[in-house]
Amino acid sequence: MRLYILGSGTPLPSADRFGSAYVLKIGDEYLMFDCGPSATQKLAKVGISPVNIDNLFFTHHHFDHDVDYPCFLLSRWNLEVGTENKLNVYGPKLTEQLTHRLMDEKNGAFSHDWIARINHPLSLNSYQIRGGKLPRPKPEIMAKDIGPGKICSGKDWEVTAAPAEHVEPWLDSLAYRVDSSEGSIVITGDTRPCESVVDLANNVDTLVCLCVYIQEEIENTPEADYMCGSITSAEMARDSNSRRLVLVHQIHTLDEKSKQLKALSDITSIFKGDIVWGEELMDLNLS
């Protein structure tokens, strides 16, 4: 099992961090979680083609988690030659609506692009050069709004979701757990400390959890009420009996050495397992 951290930042762009996106490799299958800014290009940077992604899971629909979705959909489809698996997309409420608004033939914001490409000789020639056979098919995306419970399974993995708590009732949020013979992992998405996510992560091998701020800098603010900081991320890992904690979604100022050391000091005082300070384009062997 390998984890590729494509995006490990916040809605605030910086030179080193921006948005959220992760890919999990199990055997020869790739599962993608969230599709934040530049996620498609970041896939290329870690050597993964969009056509290798057959299952995409959204934790919630803030733009720093889904803004690259149209780019990913169009890039994956444009690379297809007709032999690929269909793309399955899962997420909380709005996943189906967003997909429809992007790709629907009559109402989709980007339908003009793929309609041109299935008709114009220039695009059809490129498609045939790649190995495709005419007629070129339209995009086919299996998008589904989901809630808590078992979501889907593959050759050697099963995905389960649980409610996370972030900005309800305006947006629903989910955390995901993947279990396989190669190990188990939970991706919390954006959440405050909550029992449902701790229960989902019970005895998990790897907990991928947001750590947005140093805790003392956000006490008695909405940031502490609705997201995890250095103390609460460590408490989530401790309370769930996780073996490894991978920290993501850091505000860019936490990359200042003194602040990073303070955050890690907070965390190690509470959680005694392995700790990884997540960086964009990081490739982690979790086996």
Sheet holding 2-8, edge to edge: 141-145, 87-91, 53-57, 29-33, 20-26, 2-8, 282-285
Joined together, the tokens standing for residue 84 give: 């690929």
Q: What is d(CA 59, CA 92) in angstroms, rounded to the nearest whole number?
A: 7
pLDDT band at 275 (very low <50, low <70, confident <90, very high): very high
Of 226, 183, 171, give the one whose Cα is nearest residue 208: 183
Tell me the C-alpha to C-alpha distance, in Å, between residue 107 and each of 111, 114, 167, 283.
8, 13, 29, 38
What residue numbers bound the domain in which 33 lies? 2-285
Residue 54's H or E segment, with its range, is strand 53-57
70 and 110 Cβ atoms separated by less than 8 Å: yes
Residue with tokens 């949020």, as numbered in its chain:
173
What is the per-residue pLDDT across 105-131, written as a single tens digit (0 to 9) for each? Answer: 999 999 999 999 999 999 999 999 999
What is the per-residue pLDDT across 151-172, written as a single tens digit (0 to 9) for each? Answer: 999 999 999 999 999 999 999 9
Tell me the C-alpha to C-alpha distance, in Å, between residue 15 and each of 8, 44, 160, 279.
12, 18, 34, 12
72 and 40 Cβ atoms separated by less than 8 Å: yes
**Quick check: bond before 193 cis, omega within 30?**
no
Main-chain phi, psi angles of 232, to 5 degrees: -70, -30
236 and 201 Cβ atoms separated by less than 8 Å: yes
Q: How many domains does the chain have?
A: 1
Model-wide pTM > 0.95: yes
Joined together, the tokens standing for residue 262 give: 């303070």
187 SS3 class: strand
- Other beta carbons less than 10 A from residue 81's beta carbon: 14
Of 65, 61, 73, give the one whose Cα is nearest residue 35: 65
What is the per-residue pLDDT across 124-155, written as a single tens digit (0 to 9) for each? Answer: 999 999 999 999 999 999 999 999 999 999 99
41 and 18 Cβ atoms separated by less than 8 Å: no
- Determine the residue type at 123: S
| Residue 27, domain CATH | 3.60.15.10
pLDDT band at 221 (very low <50, low <70, confident <90, very high): very high
Q: How far from chain centre, in Å, is Cα 279?
A: 14
Main-chain phi, psi angles of 40, to 5 degrees: -65, -40
Q: What is d(CA 254, CA 231) in angstroms, rounded to the nearest whole number?
A: 14
pLDDT over 70, % of the chain: 100
Sheet holding 149-153, edge to edge: 149-153, 157-163, 174-180, 183-187, 206-210, 244-248, 274-277
Q: What is d(CA 186, CA 181) in angstroms, rounded to the nearest whole number?
A: 15
Region 261-273: what's the mean pLDDT?
Answer: 98
- Determine the residue type at 164: A
Region 3-23: what's the mean pLDDT?
Answer: 97
Task: State the pLDDT at residue 287.
Answer: 82
